[in-house]
Structure 1
Amino acid sequence: MKLSVASLIQSGSFSPVNPEQREISWFNDKGETVSAVIFVRKKSFSTANIEANHYNTGVDSLTSRIVSSIVDEEGTPLFSVDDIIGNAAHGPICDSLGMALIGAINEVNGIGLKPDPKSLPPTTNSGTSSSSPALVEEPLNKPSKT
């Protein structure tokens, strides 16, 4: 392939323009379940740049990931760093909400998904066992002979 914008478009090398919609649930500070529809921007060079800039200013990676990836329907970031880690108006978001947001980001980006077994190469078996009684460790709490 000769590198060009057209060949990159054809090969699917650009991140989608529109964010993906997800529904998340978390527990609030009263222990109640809260749900919301969110929009997640797929990881791209743009999100990597935002995260790198945050890193250079001392912002942790999870906060940066949420700020760069959670957007409104048009793709505009929904949160500032202070919205996530807290400010004078409110404290930081609760852990349950933070993990739900990170989970949705990972899902959109395919992180942690199991591969389709049909797409994996076949496994082979030599017909021999790799276990040997000589390889089995002795129990740790073996009585001593004194």
Structure 2
Amino acid sequence: MKFLWAKLLPLLIGVVVLSSCSTDFKLSGISISITDFRPKNATLLETEAAMTLRYMNENVVPIAVSGSTHKLYLNGTYVGKSVSKEAVGLPSLNTATQTVPVYMENLALVQKLLTLSEGTTAISYRLESELFVLVGEEHDSVKIVSSGQLDLSGFAPKR
């Protein structure tokens, strides 16, 4: 019996030590803000815009973003989305910018929101983003919701 314990004890200690090393890593400390928003192409049914995003990495490790999705809401109303497979590197404790295309499904709605905002071209936005990241050898996705004010002067109807 002592011989069995002498063989099993190192194995048991190894299992305990190795299981404590596999912690569930959850990434946080990333924020996104819109720094520029301009129209590119417009048709009757869809408008393409260029949205410049600033990513802020508050982590002490660099993060590799392999792709992202973004849903844009103006004054609480969904207006369009962006999908990008362009990789962007977020240096530790630093920022990075990326310009992504946004497909706005209803330009008339955007212009109506501008009209309702009483002549000002600044409008509130909410951006719901999902980043597909690689930290070390860990693949993960991070969901981020950000909000602020956006200048839509480029979308204002011409008079």
> Which TM-score band (shorter chain)?
under 0.3
| Bigger proportion of residues as helix | 1
Higher share in strand = 2
- TM-score between both structures, scaled by the size of structure 2: 0.25
